[in-house]
Structure 1
Amino acid sequence: MIFRLGFVAMTLDLENCSPSGAVTYAAYKKLEDENARKIRLARVSRSNLGNTLRILKNNAALNIEVYRLTSKLIPLATHNELSGWDFGTEFHEEFKQIGDFIKANNFRVSAHPDHFTLLNSIKPEVLEASIIDLDYHVRMFEAMGLYDYKYKLVLHVGGMYGDKEKSIERFKINFKRLPDRIRKRIILENDDKSFTASDVLYICKELNIPMVLDVHHHNCVNNGEPIEELLPGIFKTWEQEEYPPKLHFSSPRSCKEFRSHADYIDVNDFMSFLKTAKIFNRDLDFMLECKMKDRALLELSDKLKNVKELCSINKSTFKI
């Protein structure tokens, strides 16, 4: 069984390398004229895109092949006032360089739209905004030339709205209405308060989409079922996919702040889960959701090298 480690968006080991530089709408409107506004957006967007390529090159040097792109690459791209902005064409060369590098290095990249992207919302305007946000993410993939549906978008089911069953049905109905270019990229994750791993597995089976198990979220909320009972069904949802099952892993910050992510991964917690997963002998990819980003990955990697049951292939890849 081979597993790989990945991290989310930001690197802490490269200076001045944020891929998430922002322009608020208030700051945008304060600028004197339309040309000044366009220049500001272009400058920040190009900086974000350039820093993303820097991060990917650093990942290649470290053999880190699993990476989550930030959702904030292009500031204000989903704002109503910029609805006609063809950022893919404006930054064609920058996007192409990123996409070419991803494909040349066979990176597994994904994105995770923010918590306000809710396909099961009871408010039509929220659903409309959510679809616009999903379209924005897909447009970024397409601008990079990443047309293959193996490049995914991770979503939560959404809100409960006082009735879990109706909320699930609303998600299923709205999901089926999405265009293929969006729908075929979506994979679904259990959350830490409302929709358990069992709930999400049921939805994924119904809709025939892959499920991302968030191990930390399962520990936060579940129906008492052992995680090993869920793993075979979760892994089966990935049978038609090119990449192996993907999981999210993090450690709680403290007993009091159990839902919050810690800076680093507790290696004992990780190994405990890994030994459980090994029973099913499936290659896996882990997205580490830690405050210390790539430093947390590298620290965990160093600790795993000293675990006798493991064989280190490179900094992010191991065999058990």
Structure 2
Amino acid sequence: MFPFASHGVYGYKLAPFAAGALEEVGRVAAELEQRLTVHPGQYTQLGSPRQGVIENSVRDLEYHDEMLSLLKLPEQQDRDAVMVLHLGGTFGDKAATIERFKTNYAALSESIKKRLVLENDDVSWSVHDLLPICEELNIPLVLDFHHHNIIFDASQVREGTQDIMALYPRIKATWDRKKIRQKMHYSEPLPEAVTARQRRRHNPRPSGLPPCPDDMDLMIEAKDKEQAVLGLMRTFKLPGWDRFADIIPFERTDDKRPVPKKVGKKTKKQVVEDIEEVGDIVSLEAVDEVAEDEIGMGGVENRVYWPPTMEEWLRPKKRDVKKRDEPPR
């Protein structure tokens, strides 16, 4: 959102130049009762053995904390505006990584500590790894069901996600101690996924919901974003589903296209030779994905899933090759 704001050399504070705009965003979020959270990137790792990575990570957390603070949200909404973080790599030694994390966490500002929460991942750190750390350091734990179904404690008897349901009270307690509304993540693998690597990819439209209390927030992580959420609301008749029952659902057409084979990068000479042989590459005007008479449909409020004139978001513009006329001999 703010390029280079956490950069070691070119970084900058968001106040005062962005303070007014962020406060307006916060006012709208408060009015609509929306929960705003952030997820710093995978390079923000407080367990890294490299001091440079730690310094960069702290700056990144300071940037996200400042941005959330400048929203000026009401007290509970501000408390619920958390920063979700993965513990990161294990660097060949989980125990040593945990100790480094504890040391670096202790040195963080109180403002960052108030917002920081940990999430189990799909590579290294399971719920069983993180829960004792969260209980010791008073850090809320975000339970990600999809990640848990990939990385879990192999010594536990597994019946779907029931092996962690016994931990629900302990996980909830990590949130209650800080008076933060609990948050969980849910997504599903693609039906054809078999290996762990394949299963990490999120299904664009999950079809189920996990067992969870109704007094917490469940974030749906899916490629189709709000369309996936609205689909689940309609399927399970969740509160508010009837408000958008007349919306035209948008069906994706770009999901099952075969993955293109990787080709070696051409040299500048090869590119020039190709153009000389084939001709100029010209761009065609984009073709509307939605018929003109459908724009604006969707019930009395004229609501649709896709913003009018933005139908090209789901498919890139095509290119065509125009051959040069052969020169006379």
TM superposition score normalised by structure 1 = 0.67
Amino acid at match of 1:265: P
Equivalent residue for 2:4?
Answer: 76
Equivalent residue for 1:258?
Answer: 199
Q: Which of structures 1 and 2 has the larger relative contact order (alpha carbons within 8 angstroms, sep 6+)? A: 1
Q: Does 1:215 align with 2:141?
A: no
Distance (whole Å) between structure 1 residues aligned to residue 31 and residue 179 of structure 2: 16
CA drift at 1:153: 0.2
Amino acid at match of 1:262: N
Distance (whole Å) between structure 2 residues aligned to residue 185 and residue 96 of structure 1: 18
CA drift at 1:88: 2.9
Structure with bigger strand share is: 1
1:92-103 paired onto structure 2 within 5 Å:
92-103=19-30
Distance (whole Å) between structure 2 residues aligned to residue 167 and residue 80 of structure 1: 24
For the residue of structure 1 that corresponds to 2:239, the secondary structure is: strand
Distance (whole Å) between structure 1 residues aligned to residue 59 and residue 85 of structure 2: 14
CA drift at 1:238: 1.6
Amino acid at match of 1:120: G
Structure with bigger helix share is: 1
Equivalent residue for 1:143?
Answer: 70
How many residue pairs are counted as aligned between the two chains?
A: 229
Query: Are the aligned partners of 2:8 and 2:56 in contact in 1 as well (CA < 8 Å)?
Result: no
For the residue of structure 1 that corresponds to 2:176, the secondary structure is: coil
Q: Deviations over 1:263-311 (max 9, x none)?
A: 11122xx2xx32xx4xxx5622111111111111111111111xxxxxx
CA drift at 1:167: 0.8
Query: Are the aligned partners of 2:79 and 2:180 in contact in 1 as well (CA < 8 Å)?
Result: no
Amino acid at match of 1:119: L
For the residue of structure 2 that corresponds to 1:213, the secondary structure is: strand
Distance (whole Å) between structure 2 residues aligned to residue 198 and residue 122 of structure 1: 23
Distance (whole Å) between structure 2 residues aligned to residue 260 and residue 80 of structure 1: 33
Equivalent residue for 1:298?
Answer: 230
Distance (whole Å) between structure 2 residues aligned to residue 232 and residue 215 of structure 1: 16
Query: Are the aligned partners of 1:159 and 1:194 in contact in 2 as well (CA < 8 Å)?
Result: yes
2:173 maps to which of 236, 252, 270? 236
For the residue of structure 1 that corresponds to 2:54, the secondary structure is: helix
Query: Where in structure 1 are there 5+ consecutive unaligned residues?
Result: 1-72, 306-311
Distance (whole Å) between structure 2 residues aligned to residue 239 and residue 107 of structure 1: 20
Distance (whole Å) between structure 1 residues aligned to residue 166 and residue 94 of structure 2: 22
Equivalent residue for 1:126?
Answer: 53
Distance (whole Å) between structure 1 residues aligned to residue 31 and residue 234 of structure 2: 27
Percent of aligned pairs with the same amino acid: 36
Query: Are the aligned partners of 1:120 and 1:168 in contact in 2 as well (CA < 8 Å)?
Result: yes
Equivalent residue for 2:305?
Answer: none
TM superposition score normalised by structure 2 = 0.66
Equivalent residue for 1:159?
Answer: 89
CA drift at 1:241: 4.0
Equivalent residue for 1:248?
Answer: 185
RMSD after superposition: 2.0
Equivalent residue for 2:128?
Answer: 198
Moved over 4 A (4+): none
Query: Are the aligned partners of 1:117 and 1:130 in contact in 2 as well (CA < 8 Å)?
Result: yes
Query: Where in structure 2 are there 5+ consecutive unaligned residues?
Result: 157-162, 243-329
CA drift at 1:124: 0.2
CA drift at 1:152: 0.5
Higher mean displacement: 184-193 or 89-98: 89-98
For the residue of structure 2 that corresponds to 1:113, the secondary structure is: coil
Distance (whole Å) between structure 2 residues aligned to residue 78 and residue 209 of structure 1: 24
